[in-house]
């Protein structure tokens, strides 16, 4: 049995979970602006990292989708359509179930 170790390859320092500009005092009104800007910067970093991950996911899925034959694409589209339709119907039925 072999052991594998994971290594950190990206050391850019864009960690959204570390708070480098922490403030301990909340009594000043100017702190509200800094908390708001800190939140918006963390939100921006989160969205930026999320988009990067989505790009990687789509880059790995697209070659697989291109290798499908037509009948496989048709089955995939039908499966996705049925999932969406029945999800909507189930949620609507739960909404109206409580009213009766």
For the chain, domain boundaries: 29-67, 68-100
Q: Go through the chain and tell me how many residues it has.
A: 100
- Consecutive sets of 10 residues in the chain, 100 residues long: mean pLDDT of each? 60 53 52 75 93 94 90 96 95 78
The predicted pLDDT at position 28 comes to 53
What is the predicted pLDDT for the residue at 82? 97
Query: For position 92, what pLDDT does the model report?
Result: 86
> SS in 3 state form for 21-41?
CCCCCCCCCHHHHHHHHHHHH
Write down the pLDDT at residue 39: 83
**25, 31 contact by CB (below 8 A):** yes
Say what the pLDDT of residue 93 is.
Answer: 85
Q: Let me know: does 16 contact 45? Beta carbons within 8 Å.
A: yes
What is the structure's pLDDT at 86?
A: 95
pTM of the predicted model, to two decimals? Answer: 0.43
């Amino acid at each position: 049995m072999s052991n594998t170790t994971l290594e950190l390859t990206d050391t850019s320092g864009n960690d959204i979970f570390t708070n480098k500009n922490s403030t301990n005092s909340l009594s000043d009104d100017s702190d509200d602006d800094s908390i708001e800007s800190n939140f918006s910067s963390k939100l921006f970093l989160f969205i930026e990292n999320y988009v990067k991950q989505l790009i990687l996911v789509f880059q790995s899925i697209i070659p697989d989708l291109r290798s499908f034959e037509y009948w496989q694409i048709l089955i995939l589209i039908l499966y996705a359509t049925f999932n969406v339709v029945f999800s909507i119907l189930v949620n609507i039925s739960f909404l109206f179930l409580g009213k009766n």
